[in-house]
Copies of this chain bind each other. A is one copy, B any other.
Amino acid sequence: VVTISDVARAAQVSKKTVSRVINNHPDVADTTRAHVQQVIDQLGYRPSMLARGLAQGKTNIVGVIIDETAQDVFSYPLYNETLRGIASVLDANDLDMLVRFSRDETSYVELYLQRRVDGLILLSMPLNDKRLEALLDSDAPCVLTQRVSEQDTPLAWVDADFESGGMAAAQHLIELGHRRIAFVISPTTKAYVHFLLRGYRTILDHHQIAIPDDFVVTSEPYVSVSEAVIAAMMQQPKPPTAFAVSDDMKAIQLIQLMQGLGHAVPGDVSVIGSDDALIARYASPPLTTIQQDAYHRGHLAAEVLVSQLNAGQSRQQHQELLPTQLIVRGSTGPVRSG
């Protein structure tokens, strides 16, 4: 491999001059620069980022942590978009992206402490993650793409406002005449489902509509909706006329399950999702859902991190709630009269 010393020797200049050339430092005579550049090209020299990183004390790499196990990532197609949003910003700032899917034993801060990355973006951390303490103890620049607690956390985050989304959705269902609304909420380890539920609750409370305990089905992360549970619920004397589901994939499963059980959607029962994943449009009936802009979320989070990195200052408190929007499609309709 050819090093900066090789170039310096061949070009009869000092290493520092070569360094100046490759870093586009202005204080170099044009002729010198041209000459050095020529030698660089001829030798096929590439600066070692490893060495540069050591000398400068930074890696120019950002760690992106995705705390999901295999199936979960598949069922949650929005990570792609968030990653994309992040990538666009990092690209523009000549930063690279080190992606790590969750490894339980080790805390993700290690990535920073071991100087593998300059900062972290955490996608989809579970609620009240224990490893978070290590993060807070460190001075790692860091941005979350999702809140990790219903309380305030001294960390920067950019999150989608699913509480408002839930409110809009509840409003929509109420306007359609629904009064018996059930919930499929999962995974309860993620903060957003709680905000979502809270949004629904706020509106329902306001209309003095109670949510019976057995109308709230929760499940482990991304486990399928239980047919038995739903079937039982629908056989009650007063079954739900609408279901609010915490993600589109599950909402679509629920629709198919309903259809299998002989309940028309939205004729007998309305279903409303959350996310507006691509799949929502292709479901039949197309899914009414709460839209979020995952790309934008990633984009913003990355921008916040980059500004932290550039400022060099310790943690910033940037916290931002992105709007969500109710997208009404065919899976919700007026409650059947009678």
A180 interface residue per 8 A CB criterion? no
The listed residue (B103, B256, B278) touching A91 by CB distance below 8 A is B103
A71 to B110, CA, bound (A): 33
A267 interface residue per 8 A CB criterion? no
A46 interface residue per 8 A CB criterion? yes
The listed residue (B61, B77, B80, B114) touching A98 by CB distance below 8 A is B61
Across the interface, which residues of B come within 8 angstroms of A100, CB to CB?
Answer: 87, 96-97
Across the interface, which residues of B come within 8 angstroms of A46, CB to CB?
Answer: 110, 113-115
A77 to B61, CA, bound (A): 26
A283 interface residue per 8 A CB criterion? yes
A244 to B316, CA, bound (A): 53
A284 to B53, CA, bound (A): 53
A79 to B51, CA, bound (A): 32
A203 interface residue per 8 A CB criterion? no
Q: Specify the chain B residue showing the minimal Cβ separation from A47.
A: B114
Across the interface, which residues of B come within 8 angstroms of A49, CB to CB?
Answer: 114-116
A51 to B112, CA, bound (A): 14
A46 to B83, CA, bound (A): 28
Across the interface, which residues of B come within 8 angstroms of A279, CB to CB?
Answer: 278-279, 282
A289 to B50, CA, bound (A): 46
Across the interface, which residues of B come within 8 angstroms of A51, CB to CB?
Answer: 54, 115
Contact A101 B84 (CB under 8 A): yes
A73 to B5, CA, bound (A): 42
A75 interface residue per 8 A CB criterion? yes
Q: Specify the chain B residue showing the minimal Cβ separation from A78.
A: B74
A295 to B73, CA, bound (A): 12
A48 interface residue per 8 A CB criterion? yes
Contact A54 B61 (CB under 8 A): no
CB proximity of A258 to chain B, nearest CB, Å: 13
A100 to B256, CA, bound (A): 37
Across the interface, which residues of B come within 8 angstroms of A87, CB to CB?
Answer: 99-101
CB proximity of A176 to chain B, nearest CB, Å: 23
Q: Specify the chain B residue showing the minimal Cβ separation from A255.
A: B282
Q: Specify the chain B residue showing the minimal Cβ separation from A44.
A: B113
Give the residues from 51 to 86 in chain A that come closer than 8 angstroms, CB to CB, to chain B: 51, 53-54, 59, 61, 64, 70, 73-75, 77, 79-81, 83-84
18 additional contacts, CB 8 Å, given A77-B80, A91-B101, A91-B103? A46-B113, A46-B115, A48-B54, A48-B114, A50-B53, A50-B116, A79-B80, A80-B80, A87-B99, A96-B98, A96-B100, A96-B116, A97-B99, A97-B100, A99-B99, A249-B278, A279-B282, A282-B283
A-B contacts, 10 listed (Cβ < 8 Å): A46-B110, A48-B114, A48-B115, A49-B114, A49-B116, A74-B84, A80-B80, A87-B100, A97-B100, A98-B99
